[in-house]
Amino acid sequence: MADINTINKDFADLFNQGKQLLMEGSSEIMNENRSKAFQDFERLGVPTRANENYKYTNLIPAFDHPYNVNLRYLKVDVDLNEIFQCDVPELDTNMVLLTNGWFYGNNKQLLELPKGVIVCGVQEAAQKYPEIFNAHYGKYAKPGEDGIVALNTALAKDGLFIYVPKGVVVEKPIQVVNLLRSDRDLLATQRNLFVIEENAQAKIIVCDHTLTHHKYLSNSVTEINVAENAVFDLYTLQNQHLNSVILNSTFIRQDAHSNVLTNTISLYGGTIRNNHHVLLDAEYCENNTYGMYLMDHKQHVDNFTCIDHAKPNCVSNEHFKGVMDDEASGAFSGRINVRRDAQKTEAYQSNNNLLLSNEALINTKPQLVIDADDVKCSHGATVGQMDEDALFYLRARGIDEKEARQMLMFAFAHEIIEKIRVEALKERIDELVDKRLRGEISKCNTCAVACNH
Amino acid sequence: MAKKEQDKILDEVTKSDYKYGFVTDIETDIIGKGLNEDVIRLISSKKKEPEFMLEFRLKAYRHWQTMTMPKWAHLKMPEIDYQDIIYYAAPKQEAKLESLDDVDPELLETFNKLGIPLDEQKHLAGVAVDAVMDSSSVKTTFKEVLAERGIIFCSFSEAVQEHPDLIQEYLASVVPMHDNYFAALNSAVFSDGSFVYIPKGVRCPMELSTYFRINAANTGQFERTLIIAEEESFVSYLEGCTAPMRDENQLHAAIVEIVVKGNAEVKYSTVQNWYPGNKEGKGGIFNFVTKRGICEGENAKLMWAQVETGSAITWKYPSTILKGDGSSSEFYSVAVTNNYQQADTGTKMIHIGNNTKSTIISKGISAGKSDNSYRGLVKVTKNCEGARNFSQCDSLLLGDKCGAHTFPYLEIGNKTARVEHEATTSKIGEDQIFYCNQRGISTEDAIGLIVNGYAKEVINKMPMEFAVEAQKLLQISLEGSVG
């Protein structure tokens, strides 16, 4: 196994050798951030377990692999039927496609979008809408604090750009399908920027899918700015094969009276690490952060969240639930930060876990860092098995044990699904989770490639 | 509490914030500043230690040199210059003491001032005391009474001389010398401490207590406590600490090791009241302590109770390894920080044996510009069936410049485990104060009342004598922080 220094050096070499290609086609501001972030990466490197924030996730095996890197958009053949299989069928959405972290060249024009809404690739946005792009790009993510965010910023070329102008309500959810499809092992770097202006409303559904059986390392960073009075929903559905590694960092900044709901559902994936940062940067914000993970085999999931209450009178709710089976391992690390003078803050956090096997492992770390006195904060964490009384109740009514366990597990997970604010998606996820818990989808159910996982 | 008594406390407080802040003028045997192998040899020879102890110290020192100071705690502190510390200071004593009359009267006076019943007259108090000043154990009381039952209670250096077999068997068996930075440092330079051995089936008839006092300037205190409770025995052990007021920070890095065998029970209570520094945050003790117990046999029981009110920085996690099947451990803590004090404290419960149980109740109270963190670990290993843990960590904030933080770690590797953690942070309810005001209780008194009620759950677990002292301490520590 390569040691961390070799891995870091390989990336440094990659950056130095590919500099020309990296700079090409990117806007000035992207390249400015790129150089700075590379210096950060040289200082930080890929985070190891010595880093307190990565205590429970060992990234070295994920990075210790000769991946290919695309520094240019490569045309990928996508069979649209394949994608529609993956699509949530009853759902009426605006769909956009990204392949290997790049905006798909043949995306159809989204005609049904309200006037002024922009959905395009990041490279394109940097050229066509520099005012919007430059005002927000690189303003929320913090490459100086996390090696993988620095690496993303240094290598980022493209991703998705969404802009919702003042007062515009996008009724239909925008569905983003991230496809990983390649004929070789790939490191995909994706950089997204979503800007939701004052009084605007939008819902985004992100589905991650791997279409080929190659080993993937997907390192994506999403920056989101939600302006005053805006309402924004982000649903992330992670459903990839066991050979893939997902590193997903989201940075959300909220302005006064804004309302944000995120729900991250991890159904399948080899190693998943979600970094979720929320900055409540003005008064009277509401943030709801939910997540669910259903892991078996040797999968690993690590949800790291940080809700930063910088201003008074904000409310945040955070709830993560997980079911761990086989030899799966999971970690949850939640931090609520209440800064000095952020009075009248209300922040709640909880994490519940079901352990179904003795080989499964869960590490949870709910944290409160509070520097103001007039606050209401609480957190709770539980790890346990199914309630035997509830099981008995069901069995006494003639339900066999397997089905009873199934029902209880489903009810356990449903608490998170319930929070979804798109009715059709809620039903679809319910169905997916039910199937997933029954073991009927042993892999991404939409994956057209019959890989052995 | 009666009004009169309350006034008395208030009065005491307005005169001096820290009533134990005096210095005893006594001849002290001090070595030079700095740390190297020669210093360690010197300490060892001064204590006339057998060869194995010197070996142990040197090994620990060599390991310490390869380590670096850990940075993960939620603390702000200056760099510690380890060459600027005196590693050995002891009150000068000519010969071995036979009776209390031989003890320097100045010393006796000191401990009397501190309210420590060193004197046999205080027989009624019924507490056996081992008093440790700076680096040396001064006097252990009630030794003879205890010896009749086979209980050994003496200073650590005495134990090294008289019971080297026990020391060799148990020293560093719970806290290995390479365990952490401060444990390694302590293992290299520790000077004295208490040693307790309770034989099989013996119930210790009185509370055992150690009183630690730092007196000399520029010194560090490195003591080591070792408690061994054989099968079916019981002991309750108390520990108290104070230090003079000085402008510079002084380091206190101790180790406590506890071995609890089958069906035995140990209660370990601490009232920690080292000098916390002045109102501007100048001076005070750095209290970096490693405390760990192991429940070795079946149904062994270990209880930690602590009231932490002193020290500029407290950094400690009394922990229990639950190895025996059915063993259990409880941790009760009240940590109070005021002015510029910082505390990063909590516990670790390591469940290894089947059907092991642990309870954690932690109450943090922050006032002034202080920071108070709870950091705890509950670990259930893979083959540990039926483990049960309940943790509750509450924080109370008194003032808008202080911080309260909670960092629990739950690492669960077995599906039969049931682990729960709860934490809340809040300030004293305005309605609670209003209720008291309405009934003629001033706001200041009301806060005292509420804080005491809040801490009651923990203080109730302490032995009587300590509970009273702890309650008074709470009042004093919070004085001037509210209103």
Across the 453 residues of chain A, what is the mean pLDDT of every consecutive 10-residue run?
Answer: 81 85 85 91 89 87 84 68 53 79 74 84 91 93 92 91 94 86 85 95 88 84 96 90 89 96 90 95 95 90 94 94 90 91 90 88 89 85 86 92 90 91 86 81 45 38
Cα A162 to chain centroid distance, Å, stands at: 16
**Matching residue, tokens 């230090």:** B243
Q: Is A405 helix (H, G, I), strand (E, B) or coil?
A: helix
Closest Cα to residue A330, out of A311, A308, A356, A348? Answer: A356
Min Cα–Cα distance to chain B from A248, Å: 23
How many residues are present in chain A? 453
The number of C-alpha atoms within 13 Å of B153 and in the hemisphere containing its C-beta is: 29
DSSP letter assigned to residue A107: P
| Chain B residues touching A383 at Cβ < 8 A | 410, 412, 417-419
Q: Is A142 helix (H, G, I), strand (E, B) or coil?
A: coil
| Helical packing angle, A28-44 and A147-155, nearest 10° | 150
**Residues A289 and A317: beta-carbon distance below 8 Å:** yes
Residue spans per domain, chain A: 4-386
Contact A355 B414 (CB under 8 A): yes
**Residues B191 and B136: beta-carbon distance below 8 Å:** yes
| Chain A residues touching B424 at Cβ < 8 A | 377-378
Contact A353 B397 (CB under 8 A): no
| Chain B residues touching A295 at Cβ < 8 A | none
> According to the model, what pLDDT value does residue B246 have?
66
Contact B410 A371 (CB under 8 A): no
The beta-carbon neighbor of B417 closest among A368, A380, A383 is A383
Closest Cα to residue A231, out of A262, A205, A206? Answer: A262
Judge residue A40's burial from the number of C-beta atoms within 10 Å of its C-beta, 0-12 exposed, 13-18 middle, 19 or more buried.
buried
Min Cα–Cα distance to chain B from A381, Å: 5
- What pLDDT digit, counting tens, does each position of B6-56 carry? 445 444 433 345 666 666 666 677 777 888 888 888 888 888 888 888 999
Element (H, E) at A426: helix A423-437
Contact A379 B406 (CB under 8 A): yes
**B76 near A CB under 8 A:** no
- What pLDDT digit, counting tens, does each position of B108-153 carry? 666 666 555 555 444 434 456 666 666 556 566 677 778 888 898 8
Contact B425 A377 (CB under 8 A): yes
Can you name the residues that pair with B259 across neighbouring β-strands? B228, B294
**Residues A383 and A366: beta-carbon distance below 8 Å:** no
The beta-carbon neighbor of A52 closest among B72, B412, B426 is B72
Window B:452-471, CB contacts with A under 8 Å = none
Calculate ∠ Cα A282-A287-A291, nearest 5°: 150
Element (H, E) at A8: helix A4-17
Element (H, E) at A96: strand A94-99
Scanning every residue of chain B, which has its alpha carbon at the shortest distance from the alpha carbon of A55? B409
**B398 near A CB under 8 A:** yes
| Helical packing angle, A423-437 and A401-417, nearest 10° | 150
Q: Which of A373, A379, A389 to mutate to test the interface with B (most CBs of B within 10 A)?
A: A373
Query: Which phi and psi angles does A358 have, rounded to 5°?
Result: -80, -10
**B435 near A CB under 8 A:** no
**CA-CA distance, A380 to B391, in Å (whole number)?**
10
Contact B414 A378 (CB under 8 A): no
Given a cut of 60, is residue B102 above it in pLDDT? no
The beta-carbon neighbor of B400 closest among A373, A378, A385 is A373
Q: Is A392 helix (H, G, I), strand (E, B) or coil?
A: helix
Given a cut of 60, is residue B96 above it in pLDDT? no
Residues 6+ apart with CB under 8 A from B477: B276, B309, B336, B338
**B407 near A CB under 8 A:** yes
Q: Which of B388, B393, B411 to mutate to test the interface with A (most CBs of A within 10 A)?
A: B411
Share of chain B above pLDDT 70, in %: 78
> According to the model, what pLDDT value does residue B15 have?
38
Closest Cα to residue B216, out of B110, B368, B95? Answer: B110
Contact B411 A355 (CB under 8 A): no
> According to the model, what pLDDT value does residue B215 have?
67
The beta-carbon neighbor of A370 closest among B409, B419, B425 is B425
**Residues B382 and A358: beta-carbon distance below 8 Å:** yes
- What pLDDT digit, counting tens, does each position of B201-236 carry? 999 888 887 777 776 666 778 888 999 999 999 999
**Residues A269 and A240: beta-carbon distance below 8 Å:** yes
Q: Which of B409, B424, B433, B447 to mutate to test the interface with A (most CBs of A within 10 A)?
A: B409
Scanning every residue of chain B, which has its alpha carbon at the shortest distance from the alpha carbon of A361? B413
Both tokens of A233, joined, read 């929903």
**CA-CA distance, B348 to B248, in Å (whole number)?**
31
> According to the model, what pLDDT value does residue A435 have?
83
Residues 6+ apart with CB under 8 A from B316: B287, B288, B289, B290, B291, B345
Closest Cα to residue A337, out of A296, A279, A274, A291? Answer: A279
> According to the model, what pLDDT value does residue B21 have?
65
